[in-house]
């Protein structure tokens, strides 16, 4: 409890935690009980002040300076708990009460992570995937048949959707259009803040206690700080003449805020900084000859620079690291930076600015170095007062009235579009909004609009004005998909293609069935579009060379005996005929242990790949098993 009202993200987190707790109490607890999973009192003590201390406790009671956990800190805290403020005591007791559930869930997940088993049937299936055969084929792809040769009616599309409804299941969703009215400070609002900042600037010019004054008056996160050449505010880097005690900048307008700076003091720090550029030459390998070649090339380029070649241009041409694109510039860096020590030693040995006369070797390779700003240990105490621009009540009311007027002038989708176009408002679309969405199009924290769509709106209904972060929004519902089978207009193109392929399959099969003879003769007789070939297939494969994805064809092939052929039949992208020319028989094994291990290894790989999603997968499966319906969208 922080003593403040929860923000939108806080509310979302609280709601999600409450939902998770509900699921745990109503579903997971039954699983725990059935498996005999429990947390004993000694375990709880161990989690708080024993050997296996809970990670969150380790984090809370770690030394803030070293980050090292000291068990004595938690013990001392518990000894003084009864004397702690009531809010702090209650917070700890609430956390402590959550530990058993956390440990039970960890045990449950660990138990599942260790469950791997493969039976003899699975081992035999793994063994049979080694089966192989060679098959000749005649294949006619659907795209070889012109769409104009078959006709598809709307009733046929509707019929296909009814027969295949299970393949077109959809969750409930809504479509909407909306108009955004940005909340931005008016010119009067901006002038008000500017006038206030001018007064502040005048005070800074004559003020003495800059740090206190900045702390009191700034909206920024760093009202007073110490800077070195490596992190000076950008405006100072552009205005080196300003680097003197007492200098106060003009007002700077950036990122919807006015800022003024004052250099309160200039001192000498403990660390030196300089700015340099370099050109790195790397050896192709670790051999002596490769290193010698890299060094020779570096010396050649250095000689060119000494003769007048532009350093930055040479860096762009010959540099081999990320600085090449910016002319070798490394920016400012300090003696304690994480640069290579040999590189730093060389750079900081330079007096003043200028090009190093010789190559510097480091673990990265050979460097040509130029110091572009001489080393300095000067540090700056800078006051930075920032005031954010804000929208006054008058501005808010004006923008709200614009949004309200727009909403009142529109009564359906047609007038929504007409009015928005007339007034020059941009209309945005949000398609397939689900009941649990928090975003709509580019709108963040739009949960109140989603709530309206699923609980109050109907098609063609215009909303009231929604207030979101720095904007007002007016929306209209333009479509709705009920949970169940997809609406035909949403999947018409896909359905039409499916029906076209079915009709093309009938046409191709009819033509191929009338032909006889070897595949090459049948292919010639069929005409353009067909293709023949021979493929070596494995039972574990899904693709046939020159045909593509065809697992059903591979399955059919392995059901045939050597020399056996099929009639033409439909696959995903065309029609195929198969003849098995050779088939390797697999002998029964006396021991399938090796293939049981293959299955176990595959399970391990899947587990490794899916570990981050283990809890979510379990969570979803358990919810599905008890048919919990999530109706939270009806309430918030």
239-293: per-residue pLDDT in tens?
666 678 888 989 999 889 999 999 999 999 999 999 999 999 999 888 999 999 9
Task: Inform me whether the pLDDT recorded for 157 exceeds 80.
Answer: yes
Query: What's the rounded Cα separation, in Å, for the pair 585 and 133?
Result: 9
Q: Has residue 237 got a pLDDT over 90? A: no
Q: How far apart are CA 463 and CA 431, in angstroms?
A: 17
| 490 band by pLDDT with thresholds 50, 70 and 90 | confident
Residue 604 pLDDT > 90, yes or no?
A: no
- Predicted local distance difference test score (pLDDT) of residue 97: 87
> What phi and psi, each to the nearest 5 degrees, are found at residue 369?
-120, 140
pLDDT over 80 (residue 9): no
Q: Which residue has the tokens 């919807």?
A: 256
Q: 512 near 526, Cβ under 8 Å?
A: yes
3-class secondary-structure state, position 594: helix
Q: Which residue matches tokens 């969208």?
A: 633
pLDDT on residue 91: 87
- Residue 184: closest CA among 176, 175, 193: 193
| Better-scored residue on pLDDT, 151 or 22 | 151
DSSP assignment letter at 62:
B
- Mean pLDDT rounded to a whole number for the chain: 89
CB 155 within 8 A of CB 418: no
CB contact at 8 A, 386 and 259 = yes
Model pLDDT, residue 329: 95
Model pLDDT, residue 512: 96
The pLDDT confidence band at residue 615, using thresholds 50, 70 and 90, is low
Query: Is it the case that residue 485 has pLDDT exceeding 60?
Result: yes
Alpha carbons 392 and 196: distance in angstroms, whole number: 15
Tens-digit pLDDT profile for residues 405-453: 999 999 999 999 999 999 999 999 999 999 888 888 888 889 899 999 9
Flag whether pLDDT at 312 surpasses 90.
Answer: yes
* Higher-confidence position of 621 and 566: 566
- Convert the pLDDT of each residue in 376-402 to its tens digit: 999 999 999 999 999 999 999 999 999
Give the CA count within 13 Å in the CB-facing half-sphere of 221: 0
3-state SS, 486-554, equals CCHHHHHHHHHHHHHHHHHHHHHHHHHHCCCCCHHHHHHHHCCCCEEEEEEEECCCCEECCCEECHHHH
- How much is the pTM? 0.61
pLDDT of amino acid 241: 65
Pairwise pLDDT comparison (635 vs 87), residue with the higher score: 87
Domains of the chain plus CATH, in order, are 8-113 (no CATH), 116-130+586-636 (no CATH), 135-169+489-582 (no CATH), 173-183+393-481 (3.10.50), 187-271+384-388 (no CATH), 276-371 (3.10.50.40)
Helix and strand element counts for the chain (H, E):
22, 19
**8 band by pLDDT with thresholds 50, 70 and 90:** low
Residue 19 has pLDDT above 80, yes or no: no
pLDDT in tens, 523-550: 999 999 999 999 999 988 999 999 999 9
Dihedral sign for Cα atoms in the order 295, 298, 304, 305: negative
Q: What is the mean pLDDT of residues 188-205?
A: 94
């Amino acid at each position: 409890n922080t003593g403040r009202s929860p923000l939108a993200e806080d509310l979302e987190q609280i709601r999600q935690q409450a939902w998770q707790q509900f699921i745990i109490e109503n579903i997971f607890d039954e699983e725990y009980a059935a498996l005999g999973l429990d947390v004993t009192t000694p375990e709880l003590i161990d989690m708080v002040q024993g050997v296996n201390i809970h990670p969150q406790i380790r984090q809370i009671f770690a030394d803030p300076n070293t980050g090292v956990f000291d068990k004595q800190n938690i013990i001392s805290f518990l000894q003084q708990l009864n004397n702690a403020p009531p809010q702090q005591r209650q917070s700890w007791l609430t956390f402590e009460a959550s530990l058993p559930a956390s440990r039970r869930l960890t045990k449950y997940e660990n138990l599942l992570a260790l469950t791997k088993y493969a039976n003899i049937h699975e081992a035999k299936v793994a063994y049979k995937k080694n089966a192989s055969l060679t098959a000749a084929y005649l294949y006619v792809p659907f795209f070889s048949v012109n769409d104009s040769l078959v006709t598809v009616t709307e009733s046929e599309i509707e019929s296909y959707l009814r027969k295949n409804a299970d393949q077109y299941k959809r969750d409930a969703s809504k479509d909407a259009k909306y108009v955004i009215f940005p909340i931005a400070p008016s010119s009067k609002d901006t002038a008000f803040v500017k006038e206030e900042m001018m007064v502040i600037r005048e005070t800074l010019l004559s003020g003495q206690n800059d740090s206190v004054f900045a702390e009191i008056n700034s909206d920024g996160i760093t009202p007073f700080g110490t800077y070195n050449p490596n992190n000076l505010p950008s405006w100072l880097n552009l205005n080196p003449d300003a680097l003197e005690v007492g200098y106060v900048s003009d007002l700077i307008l950036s990122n919807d805020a006015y800022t003024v700076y004052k250099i309160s003091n200039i001192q000498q720090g403990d660390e030196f900084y300089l700015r340099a550029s370099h050109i790195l030459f790397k050896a192709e390998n670790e051999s002596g000859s490769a290193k010698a070649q890299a060094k020779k090339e570096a010396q050649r380029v250095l000689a060119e620079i000494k003769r007048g070649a532009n350093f930055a241009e040479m860096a762009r041409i010959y540099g081999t690291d990320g600085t090449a694109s910016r002319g070798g510039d490394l920016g400012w860096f300090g003696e304690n930076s994480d640069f290579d020590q040999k590189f730093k030693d060389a750079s900081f040995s330079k007096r003043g600015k200028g090009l190093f006369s010789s190559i510097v070797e480091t673990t990265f390779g050979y460097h040509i170095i130029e110091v572009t700003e001489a080393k300095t240990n000067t540090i700056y105490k800078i006051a930075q007062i920032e005031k954010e621009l804000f929208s006054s009540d008058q501005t808010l009311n004006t923008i709200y009235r614009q949004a309200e007027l727009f909403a009142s002038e529109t009564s359906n989708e047609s007038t929504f579009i007409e009015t928005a176009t007339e007034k020059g408002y941009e209309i945005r679309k949000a398609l397939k909004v689900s009941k649990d969405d928090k975003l709509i199009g580019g709108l963040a924290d739009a949960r109140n609009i989603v709530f309206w769509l699923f609980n109050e709106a109907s098609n063609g209904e215009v909303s009231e004005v929604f207030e979101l972060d720095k904007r007002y929004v007016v929306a209209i519902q333009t479509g709705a998909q009920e949970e169940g089978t997809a609406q035909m207009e949403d999947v018409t193109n896909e359905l039409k293609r499916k029906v076209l392929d079915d009709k093309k399959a009938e046409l191709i099969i009819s033509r191929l069935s009338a032909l006889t003879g070897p595949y090459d003769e049948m292919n010639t007789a069929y005409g353009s579009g067909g293709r023949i070939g021979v493929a070596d297939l494995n039972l574990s494969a899904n693709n046939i060379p020159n045909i593509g994805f065809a697992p059903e064809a591979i399955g059919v092939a392995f059901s045939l005996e050597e020399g056996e052929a099929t009639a033409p039949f439909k696959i995903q992208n065309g029609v195929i005929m198969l003849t098995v020319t050779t088939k390797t028989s697999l002998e029964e094994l006396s021991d399938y242990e090796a293939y049981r291990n293959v299955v176990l290894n595959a399970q391990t790989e899947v587990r490794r790949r899916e570990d981050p999603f283990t809890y979510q997968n379990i969570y979803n499966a358990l919810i599905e098993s008890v048919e919990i319906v999530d109706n939270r969208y009806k309430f918030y």
